[in-house]
Structure 1
Amino acid sequence: MKNLVKCLIIVTISLFIFSCSDGEDGAVGLAGQDGIDGVDGVDGDTGTANVIYSDWIPNGFSDSSTLNSQSFQIATADEITNMGIDLNTSHIQVFARGQVIPDTSVEVVALPFEYRFEEQLYTYGISNNSLRVFGLVRNDNSTDFDFFEEYRYIIIPGGVAAGRSAADYKNMSYEEIVDLFNIK
């Protein structure tokens, strides 16, 4: 009886192993009719289409000033109003491009930026609803704010998630923000 059970198990296992074989697939059948359209799904998260950015704007500081501080406008109040931006909830970042920073290969930096060699501070802010770049100097040696040749702003409206918070944007490099929002 023990031998009979062993033989039946061996035969059953052999049947399973050897009964399956690769063969050619059969002919492809006719395609069925198209079904009816389904119900639209729920809208996804806010995308990055609302991110606003400028072209590179030439340096607008005066060449012949003797003032320890200067500013120039990079976006007017009308431009900001026409963009429909809420300055209280949007993240605004300004970048500067120009000379390569000594001992680095960095050409584009986020403002505020301190150029210690000339004791200059480059920053930005909102004044009378216009976006301005400011240059401040701590001494009288160099009042020409010409370290950077161009400036660019990027405004991320409050509703644009993109998986980051405004605090994260402040810590991101120009290249990271450009990649994240597909900025040209």
Structure 2
Amino acid sequence: MQGEKLDKKTQIVKTALRLFSEQGLQQTSMAQLSKESGVAVGTMYLHFKSKDELVEGLFLHIQEAFGKAIDLSDSEMKASYKDRFFILGRKVHHYYVNNPAHFFVVNTLNYSPYISKEITELGRTYYQQSVDLMAEGLENGSFQPINIVLLIRFIYNAVIALVQVQLKDNVEVTEHMIDQNIERIWKAIT
């Protein structure tokens, strides 16, 4: 029974991800989610009490997958600070290019009123290693003094700008271009 509940919840989340990325949050109803996922409306409400709770659950699902994908391995953590910064930047870029639905949904929700400060903070715990890496750069003097949240937003937005160029503008982005972008970010903050 427990496995079946997980399967239904997974079906709902996967369907929500697809529909939200294809047609937007406002245009996706719970009835449509039920029909497309093959999960009865009543069952959906057992997993998510409201559409808002579903949106928060989807946001956290994406943040968890993102965090796992961008975490640096033990061997990567032994690299120099600048090399770790570059590895992280590449991982963020590649994660979103390889998961465009995640990119669209999380960037739509990042600045929306649907995601509370508490959910944003909970989502951040999934990529805490990256937050710690930015804090380390501030502490070791690699970066100019700046508020850590502002630093993270600046870096993130600069990295995803190139993702947008690749996904939305259909520009072929090479590894060299990714490295150039990360180098510009590094120079701007050091």
Identify the TM-score tier after normalising by the shorter chain: under 0.3
When Rg is computed on C-alpha atoms for both structures, the one with the higher figure is 1
Higher RCO structure (Cα 8 Å, ≥6 apart): 1
Taking structure 1 as the reference length, the TM-score comes to 0.24
Q: By percentage of residues, which structure has more strand?
A: 1
